[in-house]
Amino acid sequence: MSLMFSGIGVSRGIAIAPAYILHRDRVDVAATSLDKKGVTREVRRFRNAVNAARKQLLAVRDTIPDDAPEDISAFIETHLLMLDDGILSERPLEIIRQEGCNAEWALKLQRDSVIKVFESMDDPYLATRKDDVNHVIDRVMRILVNKDADTAEFDHDWRGQIVIADDLSPADTVIMQHQGVAGFITETGGQLSHTAILARSLGIPAVVGAYGIRRFIRANEPLVLDGTSGLVLGEADDGTVAHFRKGQRELKRKQRELGKLSTAKPITACGEKIALLANIEIEEDLKALKRTNADGVGLYRTEFLFMNRGDLPSEEEHIAAYKRVVRALKGAPLTIRTVDLGGDKETDIEPAHAASHNPAMGLRGVRRCLSDPRMFIPQLRAILRMSANAPINIMFPMLSNVAEVDQLLELLESVKSELRQKNIKFDEKIKVGGMIEVPAAAVTAAAFAEKLDFLSIGTNDLIQYTLAIDRVDNQVNYLYDPLNPGVLQLIRMTIEAGQKANIPITMCGEMAGDTRYTQLLLALGLRHFSMPPNHVLEVKNVLRQTDIKAIRRKVLTIASCTDAARQNALLDNLNATLDT
Q: Does the pLDDT value for residue 279 go beyond 80? A: yes
Q: Other CB atoms closer than 10 Å to residue 417's CB: what's the count? A: 9
Cα separation, 333 vs 431, whole angstroms: 11
Average pLDDT over residues 138-146: 87
Q: How far is CA 573 from the centre of its chain?
A: 30
**What is the per-residue pLDDT for 82?**
84
Closest C-alpha to 485, from 554, 556, 555, 559: 559
Q: Which of 79, 135, 194, 528 is catalytic?
A: 194
- Lowest average pLDDT, out of 57-71, 142-156, 454-468, goes to 142-156
Give the model's pLDDT for residue 345: 44
Res. 152 pLDDT band, cuts 50 70 90 = very low
CA dist 189 and 168 (Å) reads: 9
Question: CA 419 to CA 417: how far, in whole Å?
Answer: 5
Identify whether 353 is a catalytic site residue: no
Q: Which DSSP letter does residue 267 get?
A: B
C-alpha torsion sign, points 497, 499, 500, 504:
positive
Of 124, 163, 118, 121, give the one whose Cα is nearest residue 136: 118
**Of all helices (H) and strands (E), which one includes residue 551?**
helix 548-560
Active-site annotation holds for 178: no
pLDDT-derived band at 216, boundaries 50, 70, 90: very high
pLDDT at 14 over 50: yes
Mean pLDDT throughout 384-408?
A: 96
User: Would the pLDDT of 89 be above 60?
Assistant: yes
Amino acid letter, 467: L
The alpha carbon torsion through 382, 383, 384, 387 (nearest 10 deg) reads 120
pLDDT confidence of residue 311: 84
Side chain identity at residue 247, one-letter code: G
User: Which amino acid type is present at position 564?
Assistant: A
Kindly report the average pLDDT of the chain as a whole number.
87
Helical ranges in 221-264 per DSSP H: 238-259
pLDDT recorded at residue 223: 96
Separation CA 248–CA 15 (nearest Å): 8
pLDDT band at residue 355 under the 50/70/90 scheme: very low
All domains in the chain, ordered by first residue: 3-239 (3.50.30.10), 259-575 (3.20.20.60)
Burial of 437 (0-12, 13-18, 19+ CB in 10 A): buried
Whether 148 shows a pLDDT value over 80: the answer reads no
Q: Which of 190, 181, 229 is nearest to 208 (CA)?
A: 190
Identity of the amino acid at 131: D
Query: Average pLDDT for residues 461-482, to the nearest whole number?
Result: 78
- The length of the chain, given as a count of residues: 580
Average pLDDT on 201-206 reads 84
* Spatial separation of the C-alpha atoms in residues 448 and 450, rounded to whole Å: 5
Q: Which residues contact 93 (CB under 8 A, 6 or more apart)?
A: 43, 46, 47, 106
Q: Determine the average pLDDT of the residues in 148-153.
A: 46
> Do residues 199 and 173 lie in contact, with contact meaning Cβ atoms separated by under 8 Å?
yes
* pLDDT in the model for residue 127: 57
Instruction: Give the C-alpha separation, 536 to 192, whole Å.
Output: 16
The pLDDT confidence band at residue 72, using thresholds 50, 70 and 90, is low
Strands (E), 379-459: 392-396, 431-436, 454-457
Lowest mean pLDDT among 45-54, 121-130, 183-192, 204-213: 121-130
Whole-number pLDDT of residue 168: 85
Q: From the candidates 101, 369, 508, 561, give the one annotated as an active-site residue.
A: 508
pLDDT interval class at 431 (50, 70, 90): very high
C-beta neighbour count of 145 within 10 angstroms: 13
Neighbours of 562 (CB within 10 A): 9
d(CA 233, CA 221): 10
- pLDDT at residue 367, rounded to an integer: 83
pLDDT of res. 100: 93
Q: How many CB atoms lie within 10 A of CB 16?
A: 23
Query: Are the C-beta atoms of 275 and 508 separated by less than 8 Å?
Result: no
- Of 214, 206, 176, 173, nearest to 14 by C-alpha is 206
Residue 393 φ then ψ, to 5°: -115, 150
Is the pLDDT at 139 greater than 80? The verdict is yes
Distances (CA, A) of 69 to 287, 290, 499: 8, 11, 40
Average pLDDT rounded to a whole number, residues 87-101: 92
486 band by pLDDT with thresholds 50, 70 and 90? very high
Predicted confidence at residue 164, as pLDDT, reads 94
Identify the weakest region by mean pLDDT among 7-16, 40-49, 144-153, 392-401.
144-153
Burial 86-116 (b: 16+ CB within 10 A, else e): ebbbebbbebbbeebbbbbbbbbbbbeebee
Query: In the prediction, which pLDDT does 85 show?
Result: 84
CB atoms within 10 A of CB 81: 10
- 340 versus 226: the higher-pLDDT residue is 226
